[in-house]
Structure 1
């Protein structure tokens, strides 16, 4: 679960960089739910993994969390959230 969430976070982060380009901000509407699923996978990975093996899941949770926050801020600045 940890590796999946980490890879999911890396893909979401790459997608976030593309969605920061002007006129491609509509990608944030799809990015936020995508990253939320990655955060859920990471949370499940943290719950069901031994303490010493939680590093990847924690990194995936942080990556997906940052992507969600940046996506929401980008939508609010660009007028995407009414």
Structure 2
């Protein structure tokens, strides 16, 4: 089951625009910090989460459901 996430607001003005990305998955140690990084650095919008294990993000202007999946793997 996927939990929907409300819009997080406008991306930071210093973010790097993403020209194109079509579905990448990254394994991360800290899910919340990683989501925050990709939102600030690249202007991604978080669109959904599956529990505390996976977050789905979309690039600005993308027509994909999501472009980036972040999968939490724990501290070590």
Query: TM-score surpassing 0.5?
Result: no
Q: What's the TM-score, normalizing by structure 1? A: 0.28
Whichever structure has more strand as a proportion of its residues is 2
Q: What's the TM-score, normalizing by structure 2? A: 0.30
Larger Rg: 1
